[in-house]
Amino acid sequence: LYRTFKDSKYVYMLIEVCLGGELWTILRDRGSFDDNTTRFATACVVEAFSYLHNKGIVYRDLKPENLLLDNRGYVKLVDFGFAKKIGFGRKTWTFCGTPEYVAPEIILNKGHDLSADYWSLGILMFELLTGNPPFSGSDPMKTYNIILKGIDIVEFPKKISRNATNLIKKLCRDNPSERLGYQKNGILDIKKHKWFQGFDWDGLQKQTIIPPIQPKVKGPSDFSNFDNYSKDTDIPPNELSGWDIDF
């Protein structure tokens, strides 16, 4: 976020532009990703989670729609509408998230913490590798009931490698305290997992590695990597209440 502006009708947010488009759009067009592409995207999310979790912030809305590519193909985590600063060793009880990605403790209203993000990381890996999340029903309630049955009832397609399967299952443990990323070594355990063997974490942080998806971007105003949406013709009423006077 660079600046905010306002007039009598809108609040405007000037934010960094990610012209590579949504990861979800690319996944939809390709059907699924190979190990290499999934590994890169997942690693970008791991770095984002590492940054947020070190500040005691739980993200709570991981899904391909909330991952954008910059013009080089690096993956950015966006949309912090469900993110919450909870600190360390504390829980929160708000029911939120996308049904297919919601952790069991959220469904059961047991309270959740940073470990809910590691559950969703496993779900993301599965969806990127197959094109579909592991748990889905015809409506949210059916989806929640399937989630509560656990990852062990899910049939993993042959295209998911043994190491990827192992990591997904370690991230999607029913008990939050057993999830990889939430142990003594924290997120380092995820980075050191066999599935990431040989991955250049240093190169990712320095942005020296070549991303597996390199978007075609002609210039700073080329938004062709995004779907077209019809223009919103609704004109809102004037907002003159002064609610933001202290900002």
Element containing residue 13 per DSSP (H, E): strand 11-14
Q: Which of 7, 34, 35, 61 is catalytic?
A: 61
Name the 3-class secondary structure at 122: helix
Which amino acid appears at position 131 of this protein?
A: G
Q: Is 174 a catalytic residue?
A: no
Name the 3-class secondary structure at 215: coil
Contact partners, residue 108, CB within 8 Å, separation at least 6 = 148
CA angle (227, 69, 55) in 5-degree steps: 125
Contact partners, residue 159, CB within 8 Å, separation at least 6 = 32, 129, 130
Which amino acid appears at position 192 of this protein?
A: K
Catalytically annotated residues: 61
